């Protein structure tokens, strides 16, 4: 009521013909612009029959009248004309006149009913009731749609029928219908009764069931709603809070006859089903002894994917990146990954012989790495899309067994591919993610990935999600596996429409896939297709599904395969005849047999053929690095100075920065004048120079723009203009590469996965993920364990992602202290007990080439600068783990001179002692090795104790691969020194376990390597500041007590 009153207050006269014009011009966004064009000319709100609930209805009528005065009942027409003419409240309404002859018989019939009504109240109420009924179907129709091909479970896990709609299972049987109507009436929902069924009701603009008609009898309204919402498609969309999007969906599903297929389309669909089904059967015939684990029960997935790809290609997409769930890529055996093979064969169209030869267990692997089971491997294939005749590239991202872990990786790769081809709206590159029902509901990474979908620096402008909802997860019933009604409910957080579809109705599946692809290309937002299907076999052949799902599997045994069902339908419709169908089958069987014969000629397995992201030009043709050396990572003074100057300025006009930041920039400027850098400036120098060299840089993570420790400030904010920002890094050079720095959502798993995927797309980018504090990386452990650490070994693909992990024991308590170096070091692949050949040319580069990742802890900004630059100047890519400092960011000694960064300088894997101890090495009693920040505590303590000549301190900056060569030299330089490793971390949580055996191997176990550090502990650090300081003092005492180890020797 309030709403209408507000509107009524702004009335101004307008004739219907005037408004028709205005309205039709605004028609596409009619619903949105409604507020602006509504302009009654009388105090309508004072009409006696208007109430809060009826006002919506009157608005609908008014809109329709504006568009076409004849489209509404005559009584409304008169009413609106009168109100526009200024009729006072209560006088605008006049009893309707009889309709002229020649209009629809049904309308005439309805008219006579309307005219017979004593007053307009009943008319309004009935129309409102019908409007509510329509809305109920739109909101809850999916709850009664027939989605389960087995007809056992309700896909929404709820067997109750919403009380306010007529269940589709009633099939409008008159007796049942009457009873339902009686219940609805008694329930007081709508106040309609049987006599209303043949009355004609005007349809609101929020439905499309009328097609060309603007009014329909109630019986027909219900029938059409049933057809749209309660058959084999359940549309969940009414939670979307954008009217235009809702209208779009309603139009796609409500318009009568919209789901029509030509005979040609039906034949194509049948042919695709033949391929999908017969491919599975072919594999089963050929490798029958292998365990089964396939697509049976969801064969429709193949035509579904093809439809999404065809439609997207038609709309301009030329690159589709896919990620798959486990059912399609079993970790255990190739044959059990038939779903994936089916996709490779029939969607991506990988040559069949290439696929079949993978089953030959006698073939030798030709590439480096331990490899993975073949069907976790990725794929990249370019081909012509036969339907659209356009080129299309399809890439399937390799994935681990960990369900859903590949989701953010696929998104990141998609974002990168869009970025590199300038596809800022996602018109050319898109992703399709496949999911299992249990995993989609259960794995939190799904939610985390959804939350990236609309963020400016992470959006891929819409992903099409396809859920293979076989209503089971291994042996677990969905009723035990999730609390949400549907497995897809997680998608509602981003307002993604969800199309549930019974997968035994292939045409319904194709239709929703088509709509999903169109949705994505229209709105560039995520959409979900929930293929409600079944799993014909057990989780694998060893599993007896009847143990745990007896009723379901009794039904499944009786279930006719979808191909057979659909073929029978098309034969009955005369679309194909039986011989044609059989011919299609034998044609495809023959293709498989011939490819199988050819596959016998393959001699060697090339995992490289299964790369998901080839890097053209980066390697030689046979996949080797172009050199095995790394140029100097130093820069000229000019470049350093230029970057330093930009980093300490605001490179745009009229931009007011915060006073505190001005001081920070001023300090930076002074450092530049003094030819020194701190951590932030060193990072600036590394990034700025790589940008000059055409290397794109992307730094992502929580609060990275400013930096958790407020040291970075890569994005300046105008203090006077909201959202006005400046990124000086993008103002460095005329033709520089772009710099992306982006605060991420508060997700480690999702964002690290995303950046890994981004880094996958190109070797010519420095992609960094920074943890807020290093310990938070463990919520992304799956990405580290399954992708970053073993990625190259499993999937032959390299990745140069950089992890920046703030680390250091600074009395801040157990959290925020440790980036858990022990975990990263434990996963390094270098052998602690084998001394490599130190005389080998380019020993350091070879070592880097062989390792699975590089782990560093730099003690100076200069070295940090070099390691970042080296990451790109190396002729290959390895993940780089950097433990970054916190207090050292502002430590006055943690500065580097430009001299350490000039041409000819390099990253120092080891920083040897260079003080008095190094001048007289034979006097040195102890050689202390350490890494990172503790170095500054040690030097301070040594000075305080006046032991600079007796104790040498050597910093190991690159922990892995271990610098055996340089450390051997260090040990040899101090022949009289005992060796000790000093760390500030607890003994079981730091570097000791990694360094000690390698140091011992370096010196052929000639001397012990003593330990000076904290005791083992369960927590990474104490929460008590005093204890922290006591522990620190104790470890320093140990480090400088030259007698402390005597009793142990
Ligand atoms: C993160 C993770 N946890 C557990 C598993 C073990 N696992 C493999 S398949 C499976 C059931 C998956 O069910 P669903 O997602 O419905 O896929 P379906 O097998 O039904 O296709 C489980 C629990 C896994 N692979 N990954
Ligand atoms: Mg499942």
Pocket test of ligand 1: the residue of 400, 403, 437 to mutate, having most ligand atoms within 8 Å of its CB, is: 403
Q: Which atom of ligand 1 is nearest to the CA of 535?
A: 20
CB-based contacts of 580, cutoff 8 Å, min separation 6? none
DSSP class of residue 997 equals H
Specify the range with the lowest mean pLDDT, choosing from 470-474, 497-501, 703-707: 470-474
Does ligand 1 come within 6 angstroms of the Cβ of 478? no
Question: What b-and-e string marks burial along 609-627, b requiring 16 or more CB atoms within 10 Å of the CB?
Answer: bbbbbebeebbeeeeebee
Q: What pLDDT is stored for residue 854 in this prediction?
A: 98
Is the separation of the CB atoms in 616 and 610 below 8 Å? Answer: no
The winner for highest mean pLDDT among 152-161, 181-190, 620-629 is 620-629
DSSP class of residue 377 equals S
Does ligand 1 come within 6 angstroms of the Cβ of 438? yes
pLDDT confidence band for 327 (50 / 70 / 90): low
Residue nearest to atom 9 of ligand 1 (CA): 474
What sign results for the dihedral spanned by CA atoms 746, 765, 846, 377? positive
Does ligand 1 come within 6 angstroms of the Cβ of 341? no
Q: Which residue has the tokens 């006579």?
A: 112
| Mean pLDDT across 755-776 | 97
Nearest ligand, CA of residue 376? 1
Does ligand 1 come within 6 angstroms of the Cβ of 236? no
Tokens at residue 226, please? 């049933």
Does ligand 1 come within 6 angstroms of the Cβ of 540? no
Does ligand 1 come within 6 angstroms of the Cβ of 298? no
Is the separation of the CB atoms in 454 and 525 below 8 Å? Answer: yes
Does ligand 1 come within 6 angstroms of the Cβ of 320? no
Q: What pLDDT is stored for residue 330 in this prediction?
A: 44
Q: What pLDDT is stored for residue 184 in this prediction?
A: 54
pLDDT confidence band for 243 (50 / 70 / 90): very high
Does ligand 1 come within 6 angstroms of the Cβ of 329? no
* Euclidean distance between CA atoms 487 and 471, whole angstroms: 9
| Mean pLDDT across 981-996 | 97
Q: What pLDDT is stored for residue 11 in this prediction?
A: 28
Does ligand 1 come within 6 angstroms of the Cβ of 786? no
Start-end of H helices in 559-678: 562-573, 578-599, 637-647, 659-673
Nearest ligand, CA of residue 440? 1
More confident residue, 516 or 156: 516
Q: What pLDDT is stored for residue 727 in this prediction?
A: 97
Q: How many CA atoms lie within 13 A of 1009 on its CB side?
A: 23
Among residues of the chain, what percentage have pLDDT more than 70? 84
Does ligand 1 come within 6 angstroms of the Cβ of 468? yes
Decide if pLDDT at 247 tops 90.
Answer: yes
DSSP class of residue 817 equals T
| Mean pLDDT across 848-874 | 98
Burial class, 603, CB count within 10 angstroms (exposed 0-12 / middle 13-18 / buried 19+): exposed
**What is the phi/psi pair of residue 956, to 5°?**
-95, 110
pLDDT confidence band for 157 (50 / 70 / 90): confident
Does ligand 1 come within 6 angstroms of the Cβ of 470? yes
Ligand 1 midpoint to CA 80 (Å): 61
Residue nearest to atom 12 of ligand 1 (CA): 473
Q: Which atom of ligand 1 is nearest to the CA of 473?
A: 13
| Mean pLDDT across 160-172 | 58
| Mean pLDDT across 224-246 | 95
Pocket test of ligand 1: the residue of 153, 326, 487, 786 to mutate, having most ligand atoms within 8 Å of its CB, is: 326
* Euclidean distance between CA atoms 540 and 296, whole angstroms: 12
| Mean pLDDT across 1036-1046 | 95
Decide if pLDDT at 987 tops 50.
Answer: yes
Ligand 2 midpoint to CA 521 (Å): 29
Question: What is the bridge-based pairing of β-strands 802-806 and 765-770?
Answer: parallel
pLDDT, tens digit, for every residue of 407-454?
Answer: 999 999 999 999 999 999 999 999 999 999 999 999 999 999 999 999
More confident residue, 427 or 294: 427
Is the separation of the CB atoms in 953 and 938 below 8 Å? Answer: yes
Ligand 2 midpoint to CA 484 (Å): 15
Q: What pLDDT is stored for residue 121 in this prediction?
A: 78
CB-based contacts of 481, cutoff 8 Å, min separation 6? 438, 441, 442, 473
Using alpha carbons, select from 442, 108, 387 the residue that is nearest to residue 271: 387
pLDDT, tens digit, for every residue of 346-382?
Answer: 998 888 888 888 777 665 555 555 555 555 566 778 8
**What is the phi/psi pair of residue 597, to 5°?**
-65, -45
φ/ψ bin of 1038: left (φ > 0), alpha (ψ from -120 to 50), beta (otherwise): alpha
pLDDT, tens digit, for every residue of 806-828?
Answer: 999 999 899 999 999 999 999 99
Q: What pLDDT is stored for residue 112 in this prediction?
A: 45
Q: How many CA atoms lie within 13 A of 458 on its CB side?
A: 30
* Euclidean distance between CA atoms 695 and 486, whole angstroms: 45
| Mean pLDDT across 493-499 | 97
Cite the beta strand spans of 614-754 per DSSP E. Answer: 676-677, 696-701, 716-717, 725-726, 739-743
Does ligand 1 come within 6 angstroms of the Cβ of 439? yes
Decide if pLDDT at 46 tops 60.
Answer: no
Decide if pLDDT at 38 tops 60.
Answer: no
Using alpha carbons, select from 41, 45, 47 the residue that is nearest to residue 3: 45
Does ligand 1 come within 6 angstroms of the Cβ of 141? no
* Euclidean distance between CA atoms 342 and 90, whole angstroms: 70
Q: Find the helix packing angle between 30-37 and 243-254, rounded to 10°.
A: 130
Specify the range with the lowest mean pLDDT, choosing from 55-59, 931-935, 946-950: 55-59
Decide if pLDDT at 926 tops 70.
Answer: yes
Nearest ligand, CA of residue 406? 1
Q: What pLDDT is stored for residue 284 in this prediction?
A: 83
SS3 537: coil
Ligand 1 midpoint to CA 405 (Å): 12
Q: What pLDDT is stored for residue 6 in this prediction?
A: 28
Question: What b-and-e string marks burial along 634-651, b requiring 16 or more CB atoms within 10 Å of the CB?
Answer: bbeeebbebbbbbbbebb
* Euclidean distance between CA atoms 127 and 25, whole angstroms: 27
Q: What pLDDT is stored for residue 900 in this prediction?
A: 98
Question: What b-and-e string marks burial along 662-682, b requiring 16 or more CB atoms within 10 Å of the CB?
Answer: eebbeebeebbeebbbbbbbb
| Mean of per-residue pLDDT scores for the chain | 86
pLDDT confidence band for 295 (50 / 70 / 90): confident
Specify the range with the lowest mean pLDDT, choosing from 207-216, 392-401, 673-682, 934-943: 392-401
The predicted model scores a pTM of 0.87
Q: What pLDDT is stored for residue 5 in this prediction?
A: 27
């Amino acid at each position: 009521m309030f709403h209408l009153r507000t509107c009524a207050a702004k009335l101004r006269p307008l004739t219907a013909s005037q408004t028709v014009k205005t309205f039709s011009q605004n028609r596409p966004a009619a619903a949105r612009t409604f507020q602006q064009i509504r302009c009654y000319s009388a105090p309508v709100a004072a009409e006696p029959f208007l109430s809060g609930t009826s006002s919506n209805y009157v608005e609908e009528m008014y809109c329709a009248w504006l568009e076409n005065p004849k489209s509404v009942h005559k009584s409304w027409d008169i009413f609106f004309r009168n109100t526009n003419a200024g009729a006072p409240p209560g006088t605008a309404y006049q009893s309707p006149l009889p309709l002229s002859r020649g209009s629809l018989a049904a309308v005439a019939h309805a008219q006579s009913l309307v005219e017979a009504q004593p007053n307009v109240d009943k008319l309004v109420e009935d129309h409102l009731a019908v409007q509510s009924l329509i809305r109920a179907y739109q909101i809850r129709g999916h709850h009664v749609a027939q989605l389960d091909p087995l007809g056992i479970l309700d896909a929404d896990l709820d067997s109750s029928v919403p009380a306010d709609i007529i269940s589709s299972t009633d099939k409008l049987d008159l007796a049942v219908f009457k009873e339902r109507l009686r219940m609805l009436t008694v329930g007081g929902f709508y106040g309609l009764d049987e006599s209303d069924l043949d009355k004609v009701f005007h349809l609101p603009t929020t439905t499309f069931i009328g097609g060309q008609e603007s009014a329909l009898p109630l019986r027909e309204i219900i029938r059409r709603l049933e057809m749209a919402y309660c058959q084999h498609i359940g549309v969940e969309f009414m939670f979307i809070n954008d009217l235009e999007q809702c209208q779009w969906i309603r139009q796609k599903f409500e318009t009568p006859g919209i789901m029509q297929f030509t005979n040609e389309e039906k034949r194509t669909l049948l042919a695709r089903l033949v391929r999908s089904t017969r491919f599975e059967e072919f594999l089963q015939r050929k490798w029958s002894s292998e365990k089964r684990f396939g697509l049976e029960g969801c064969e429709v997935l193949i035509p579904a994917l093809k439809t999404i790809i065809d439609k997207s290609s038609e709309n301009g997409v030329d690159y589709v990146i896919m990620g798959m769930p486990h059912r399609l890529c079993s970790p255990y055996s190739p044959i059990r990954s038939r779903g994936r093979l089916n996709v490779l064969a029939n969607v991506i169209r990988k040559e069949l012989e290439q696929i079949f030869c993978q089953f030959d267990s006698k073939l030798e692997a030709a590439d480096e790495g331990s490899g993975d089971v073949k069907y976790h491997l990725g794929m990249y294939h370019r081909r012509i899309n036969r339907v659209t005749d356009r080129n299309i590239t399809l890439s399937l991202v390799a994935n681990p067994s960990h369900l859903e872990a590949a989701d953010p990786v696929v998104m990141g790769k998609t974002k990168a591919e869009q970025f590199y081809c300038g596809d800022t709206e996602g018109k050319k590159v898109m992703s399709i993610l496949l999911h299992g029902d249990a995993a989609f509901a259960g794995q939190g990474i799904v939610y985390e990935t959804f939350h990236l979908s609309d963020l400016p620096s992470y959006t891929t402008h819409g992903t099409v999600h396809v859920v293979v909802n076989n209503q089971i997860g291994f042996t677990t019933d969905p009723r035990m596996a999730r609390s949400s009604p549907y497995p897809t409910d997680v998608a509602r957080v981003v307002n993604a429409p969800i199309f549930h579809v019974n997968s035994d109705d292939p045409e319904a599946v194709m239709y929703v896939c088509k709509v999903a692809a169109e949705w994505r290309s229209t709105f560039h937002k995520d959409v979900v297709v929930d293929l409600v299907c079944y799993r014909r076999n057990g989780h694998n052949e060893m599993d007896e599904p009847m143990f745990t799902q007896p009723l379901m599997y009794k039904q499944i045994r009786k279930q006719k395969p979808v191909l057979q069902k659909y073929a029978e339908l098309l034969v009955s419709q005369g679309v194909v005849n039986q011989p044609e169908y059989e011919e299609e089958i034998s044609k495809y069987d023959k293709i498989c047999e011939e490819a199988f014969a050819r596959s016998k000629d393959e001699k060697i397995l090339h995992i490289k053929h299964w790369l998901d992201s080839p890097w053209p030009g980066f390697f030689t043709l046979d996949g080797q690095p172009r050199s095995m050396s790394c140029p100097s990572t130093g820069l000229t003074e000019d470049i350093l100075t230029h970057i330093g100057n930009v980093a300490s300025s605001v490179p745009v006009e009229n931009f007011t920065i915060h006073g505190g930041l001005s001081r920070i920039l001023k300090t930076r400027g002074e450092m530049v004048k003094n030819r020194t850098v701190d951590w932030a400036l060193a990072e600036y120098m590394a990034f700025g120079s790589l940008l000059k060299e055409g290397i794109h840089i992307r730094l992502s993570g929580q609060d990275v723009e400013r930096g958790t420790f407020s040291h970075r400030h890569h994005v300046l904010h105008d203090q006077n203009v909201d959202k006005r920002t400046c990124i000086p890094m993008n103002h460095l050079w005329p033709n520089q590469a772009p710099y992306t720095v982006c605060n991420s959502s508060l997700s480690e798993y999702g964002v690290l996965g995303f950046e890994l995927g981004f880094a996958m797309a190109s070797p010519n980018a420095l992609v960094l993920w920074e943890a807020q504090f290093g310990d938070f990386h463990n919520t992304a452990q799956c990405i580290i364990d399954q992708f970053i650490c073993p990625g190259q070994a499993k999937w032959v693909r390299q990745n140069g992602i950089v992890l920046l992990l703030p680390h250091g024991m600074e009395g801040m308590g157990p959290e925020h202290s440790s980036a858990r170096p022990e975990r990263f070091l434990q996963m390094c692949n270098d052998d602690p007990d084998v001394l490599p050949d130190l005389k080998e040319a380019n020993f350091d580069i070879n070592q880097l080439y062989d390792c699975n990742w590089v782990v560093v802890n730099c003690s100076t900004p200069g070295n940090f600068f070099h390691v970042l630059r080296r990451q790109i100047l190396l002729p290959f890519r390895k993940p780089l783990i950097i433990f970054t400092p916190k207090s050292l960011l502002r430590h006055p000694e943690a500065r580097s001179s430009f001299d350490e960064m000039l041409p000819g300088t390099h990253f120092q894997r080891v920083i040897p002692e260079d003080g008095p101890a190094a001048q007289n090495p034979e006097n040195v009693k102890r050689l202390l090795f350490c890494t990172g920040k503790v170095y500054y505590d040690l030097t301070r303590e040594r000075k305080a104790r006046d032991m600079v000549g007796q104790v040498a301190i050597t910093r190991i900056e690159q922990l892995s691969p271990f610098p055996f060569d340089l450390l051997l030299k260090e040990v040899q330089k101090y022949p009289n020194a005992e060796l000790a490793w000093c760390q500030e971390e607890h003994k079981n949580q730091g570097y000791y376990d990694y360094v000690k055996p390698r140091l011992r191997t370096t010196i052929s176990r000639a001397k012990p390597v003593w330990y000076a550090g904290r005791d083992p502990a369960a927590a990474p650090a104490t929460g008590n500041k005093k204890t922290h300081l006591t522990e620190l003092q104790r470890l320093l005492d140990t480090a400088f007590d030259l007698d402390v180890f005597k009793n142990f020797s």
